[in-house]
A and B are shown apart, each in its own frame.
Chain A
Amino acid sequence: MHKYLPHTDHDLREMLAFLGISDIKELFSSIPKAARFDREYDLPPAMSEIELRRHFQELAKLNDAKIVFSGLGAYDHYDPSVLSALVSRQEFLTSYTPYQPEVAQGTLQYIFEYQSMITALTGMDVSNASMYDGPTAAAEAMFMAEGITKRKRILASKSLFPHVKNVLQTYAHFKGLAIDWLDVVDGATDFSQLKERFTEEHAGLIVQKTNVFGVIEDFAGVADIVHEQGGVLIVYADISALAVLRTPGEDGADIAVGDCQALGIPLAFGGPYLGYMAVKKSHVRKMPGRICGQTFDKNGKRSFVLTLQAREQHIRREKANSNICSNQSLMALYVTIYLSLLGKDGLTRVNELSYQGAHALFDKLLATGKFKKVFDKPFLKEFTIETMIPADLIQKALRDNGFFGAYPLCEIDPDYENLYNFAVTEKRSAEEIDRLVKVLGGLSW
C-alpha cells in the first residue's frame, strides 16, 4: 500500500471479518449523507522520497540566505553541531507531553534543568517549562498581572519590539484590557513622569532590555514606583544578554519574559522559537504553563514530575488565566543543551564578541561620514543609526552583495524615518564587517 500504511489485504480481510462488515466505509455510517466527502481530493499525487528531495531542493533554491546584520528579535548566533545531533533523537523528538513520568524522565529532567538555567539567567525564582515565543509570553505576563492585581489597565513602553507591541494589543483587545503607552526620549523609555503615569488602575508595567533601538535601558527606581502602587513589573529581556547585563531579578521585576531564540535556535524564517517566563516565587500559582518539580519515586529514587497542575486549563477550565497547554518543549531542549555547552564563560564570550563586533561596525559606519549617531545610550549587540542614504538604495546594495541588514525602522513606525537597525553576533567575521562597511560607505546618491 504505502510505507506509512502497513495494512496488507490479508490483514484488512481478517479485521473486516472480525468486525462482521464487508467494507471499511460501513464504520462511517453515522456520518450523514450531506456531510460525506465523496470525491477525490484535489491534491497532487504521491511523491517518492527521490522526487520529494528534488522538489524540496527546487523550493530551497528560491530562498536566498544572506549574511545577517540585523536582529529585532531574531539573531544569527552560533548553534553548536551537538545541538542538532541531540535534539533529533527520537526519544525526545517523537514523545508526547510527559504525563507518564515513569517513561518520560528524559523530558522531565531536561525541563527541570531548563527551569534551573532560565532562573539563573534572569535572576528570578521560578521558571515554567516554556511558552510559544517572546511576544506571546509578554501577553501571558500581561494576563498574569491582571490575575494578580485584578486590574484592567497595563502601562507599556513604546520602546518594546513592534511585534511584541502588536501581540500585546491583540491579546488586550480581546480580553478587554486597555494599554497605555510610555513615550521614548533619546532612544529609551521616559520614566520621568512614571509616578503620575502608573496609577492604582494599572496592573503592570512592561519594559524591554535591550529595547527596539538596541539600547540598554536603565530601570533603576522603576520597580519601587510600580510596587508602591501595588502593580507588577514585567521585564522583557534578551535572555542571552542577561549573562552580562543587569538581570530582571536585579531590577526588581516580578515577571521576566522574552524569547530564547538567541540561545542556539536557528533563524528558520521566524520559528519555532521559544518564549520564556520566570517569576518571583510568590507568584508561582498565577503562572501559566507546565512546571516540572523534583520528587522521589516509590523506591526513593530522585525523579521529576509535572507539578502544580491545579493552575492549568485542563483542570481549571474557564477559570484558568491562560489556555496554554503543550507548546515548545523541544526548543527548551535546544536551550538547555546550548547553555550546558556554553556555560557562564561561553555565554559571556558570545556577548563580548557580539559587543565588540557591533561597536566596531558602529564606529566604522560613523567613520564613513554617511552615518550619524542618534542616541547617546549604551548598546550591546544591536544598535540604531541614522543615515540620509535612501532606504531602497541601501537595501538593493546590501542584497546585491549578499547581506541582510540595515533594517529600516520606518517599516515599523513612520516616526523612525532614516533610522536603521544593525545587529552583530559572534558569527560575524572582521572581513564581513569590513565588506559591509565598504558597500555602505561606497554608496552615493
Chain B
Amino acid sequence: MVNYDKLIFEWSAKGRQGFELPKPVYTAYTLNDLGTHRRKSELLLPEVGELDVLRHYTNLSHKNHGVETGFYPLGSCTMKYNPKINEEMASLPSFNQIHPLQSAGDVQGALKLYHELQGMLSEISGLAEFSLNPFAGSHGELVGLMIMKAYHEKKGDFKRTKVLVPDSAHGTNPASVAVCGMQVIEIASTPKGTVDLEALKAALSDEIAGIMLTNPNTLGIFEPDIMEISRLVHQAGGLLYYDGANLNALLGMARPGDMGFDIMHINLHKTFSTPHGGGGPGSGPVGVVKHLREFLPNPRVKVLDGTYYVEHSKDALGQIGGFFGNFKVYLRAYAYIRTLGKEHLKMVGPLATINANYIKEQLKSDYELPIEGHCMHECVFDGLKDQSTGVKTLDVAKRLLDFGFHAPTIYFPLLFHQSIMIEPTEVESKQTIDTFIQAMRQIAKEAKEQPELVKNAPHSTPISRVDEVYAAKKMILTYKDYLEEQAK
C-alpha cells in the first residue's frame, strides 16, 4: 500500500481505544483532588484501536527504504547490515527491566558489559580509556572538546580557546567547538582535501587548544602527513581530536592512538553496526590517552577484584547525560564485536576499502573523479562527466531511487559543487555492487539521451519530489496547524 496516505489522527473516532488497563483498586483517591493543578485545555490525541495502530505504522514503514530493502551507499554514514541477533540480545528482559539507579550489586551484568566494551574499544582504537556515555557522534565531539578545554584549564592555561578545523570538515565540528565555548580557526586544505602543512604551521600558536581531524577525511583520503601533523600540534602545546566518523576504513589497518590522537569519539551506529533508527539512537563513546583519563565524564564504570562499581569522580568534567548513555546500543555493538571476533574484525577495513575503490574505478569513465589514486572506504565524484544536458547530482540521486537503491550522500563535501559521496561498506557483495554500477552507468546514459527522465525522477517511489519552499513558508508543523490551514 504505497499509496497509503492517512495520518493516525484521521483514523480517530470518539470512544475507540487501543489500551486495556487494570481495574482501579484505590478508588477513594481521585485526580479531582488536585484542583487548580489540573489541566484545563483540550488534549488532541487520536482515539484509535490496536489494529488501527498496527496497520497505520506498518503501512508507513512501507514508505521507507531500509538497509534490508536494498543497497544504502550513503557516504560518511556507514550504512552496514544491523544483525538480527544483536536486536535479540538487546531485547533480553533482564537488561530492559533494570533501573539506572539500582545498586551496583543488582546490575553486575550491565556494568560488566559496559566495562568490557570500553576495553574492546580501547584495543581497537589504541587509546587508554573510554566513556560510553555520549549519546551520539555530535555529543561525543562536544564531550571530547570539553576534555580538551578541561585539560588546558587544569594546567592554568586559559588562553587556549581556539580549535583548528579543516575547511573540509563536516559542519558539526565547528558547531561543537562553539557550543563548548571555544573559537574555530578554519585551516585551508590542499586540493586533495588533506591538511596543508604550511597553513597548519602558520595557524599554530599558544592560543590553540587543539585540532579536530577526520581521518580518512571527508573525501575518503588518508592524511599522509598525520605523523608530522601530530608532532607539530603537540609541539605547540595542543591536543589532537579524532572524529571517528570514518573509522570503519581503518579496522584492522591502523589505530588513531598510534597516529598521535589524544581524544576521539566512535560512532557505534556506524563502525559497530548498531541501527541508525531513522536518525538515532546512536552512541558516541569518547576515548582518551592515559593522561586525560581523569577528565572523562561521570558516571564511570570500574572494576575491583571482579566486582563492578559506579564511580563519580570529582576530577571528571562533569555529567553529560541523565544516566549511562544509550545503554541498549552497547548491547548491540558488543554482540557485533563478539560475533566477528579478532579474526574477522580486521577484515572490515580492507573489504570496505576494496569495495569503494572498485566502485570508483568502475564509474570514473561516466562520473567526474576529482582526485585520482586510491581512496579508503568511500569515494567522491564531482557529478556527471558530461553535464551538457543540465543533469545535476540531485537528479542522479533521485533517479537511483527508481532502481531500488538509496541515494549516496550528495553536495557534501562542500569542496566540489556536484559532490556524490559513495560508501559501500564491507557488507555488500560484488554482485550487489555490480548491479549498482550498472544502474549508475544507465543513469549516465539516460542523462545524455533522455535528460527529462532523470530530471523528473524519481518515478516509482511513494511520492515524487517535494516542495521544500512551501514547507518552510507555511510552517505546518503539527496536525493542529494542518487543520487550521485546511480551514482557511
Contact = CB atoms under 8 A, between A and B. Distances in A.
A169 interface: yes
Interface string A354-392: 011101100000000000000000101000000000000
A18 B361 contact: yes
A104 B222 CA distance: 33
Residue in B99, B281, B327 whose Cβ sees the most chain A Cβ within 10 Å: B99
Contact of A247 (B39, B324, B428): B39
Contact of A167 (B34, B321, B328): B321
Interface stretch (A30-38, A199-207, A223-231, A437-445): A30-38
A133 interface: yes
B159 interface: no
Contact of A176 (B64, B74, B181): B181
B123 interface: yes
Given A103-B401, A249-B41, A340 B276 contact: no
B463 interface: yes
A294 B43 CA distance: 21
B463 A91 contact: no
Contact of B180 (A63, A175, A244): A175
Contact of B277 (A49, A85, A92): A92
Given A94-B67, A121-B43, A268-B98, A27 B357 contact: yes
18 contacts: A43-B337, A52-B338, A100-B65, A113-B9, A132-B321, A170-B146, A170-B318, A175-B181, A250-B40, A272-B327, A313-B172, A318-B183, A325-B172, A330-B277, A352-B31, A353-B22, A355-B29, A356-B26
A77 B194 CA distance: 51
Interface string B447-487: 00000000010100111111110111011111111100000
A96 interface: yes
Enumerate the 3 nearest inter-chain pairs by beta-carbon distance, A residue then B residue, closest first: A270-B323, A46-B341, A170-B318
B130 interface: no
Given A44-B338, A63-B108, A116-B480, A129 B68 contact: no
Given A19-B361, A102-B465, A326 B136 contact: yes
Interface string B343-358: 1111110110110011
A303 interface: yes
A6 B278 contact: no
Interface stretch (B83-91, B286-294, B380-388): B83-91
A328 interface: yes
Contact of B347 (A5, A135, A342): A5
Contact of B465 (A7, A106, A246, A297): A297
A295 B470 contact: yes
A278 B81 CA distance: 34
Nearest to B78: A96
Interface residues of A, number: 199
Interface residues of B, number: 199
A271 B281 contact: yes
Nearest to A133: B322
A127 B268 CA distance: 27
Contacts of B337: 43
Contacts of A435: none
A422 interface: no
Interface in B309-353: 317-329, 331, 335, 337-348, 350-351, 353
A12 interface: yes
Interface in A118-167: 119-121, 123, 125-127, 129-130, 132-136, 143, 163-164, 166-167
A14 B101 CA distance: 55
A184 interface: no
Contacts of A357: 25-26
A88 B66 CA distance: 12
B94 A94 contact: no
A280 interface: no
Given A5-B427, A73-B322, A89-B61, A326 B146 contact: no
B181 to A, nearest CB: 5
B161 to A, nearest CB: 10
Contact of B323 (A271, A295, A407, A429): A271
A257 to B, nearest CB: 12
B66 A90 contact: yes
B143 to A, nearest CB: 9
Interface stretch (B52-60, B196-204, B232-240, B438-446): B52-60
Interface string A317-354: 11111111111111101001101111111111111110
Interface string A221-244: 000000000000000000000111
A91 B66 contact: yes
Given A41-B124, A46-B344, A106 B60 contact: yes
B378 interface: no
A45 B463 contact: no
Nearest to A314: B171
A93 interface: yes
A230 to B, nearest CB: 23
Contacts of A24: 350-351, 353-354
B254 A35 contact: yes
Contacts of B18: 80, 82, 340-343, 346
Given A1-B347, A41-B124, A41-B342, 13 more contacts: A2-B347, A74-B100, A90-B69, A93-B277, A105-B462, A119-B478, A133-B135, A218-B37, A267-B99, A291-B477, A298-B465, A325-B172, A336-B8
A343 B93 contact: no
A197 interface: no
B429 A36 contact: no
A55 B338 contact: yes
Contacts of A397: none
Interface string B123-164: 110100000000111110110011001000000000000000
A259 B136 contact: no
A102 B46 contact: no
B22 A429 contact: yes
B120 interface: yes
B61 A174 contact: no
A294 B475 CA distance: 8
A63 B107 CA distance: 4
B97 A293 contact: no
A26 B478 CA distance: 54
A177 to B, nearest CB: 9
Interface in B238-271: 250, 252-255, 258-259
A102 B398 contact: yes
B96 A134 contact: no
Interface string A109-120: 110110111011
Contacts of A27: 350, 353-354, 357, 374, 376
Interface in B1-48: 5, 7-9, 17-19, 21-22, 24-27, 29-31, 33-34, 36-41, 43-48
Nearest to B360: A19
A25 B250 CA distance: 11
Interface in A48-84: 49, 52-53, 55-56, 59-66, 68, 70, 72-74, 76, 78, 80, 82, 84
A245 B37 CA distance: 6
Contact of B222 (A30, A136, A173, A281): A30
A356 B29 CA distance: 5
Nearest to A69: B99
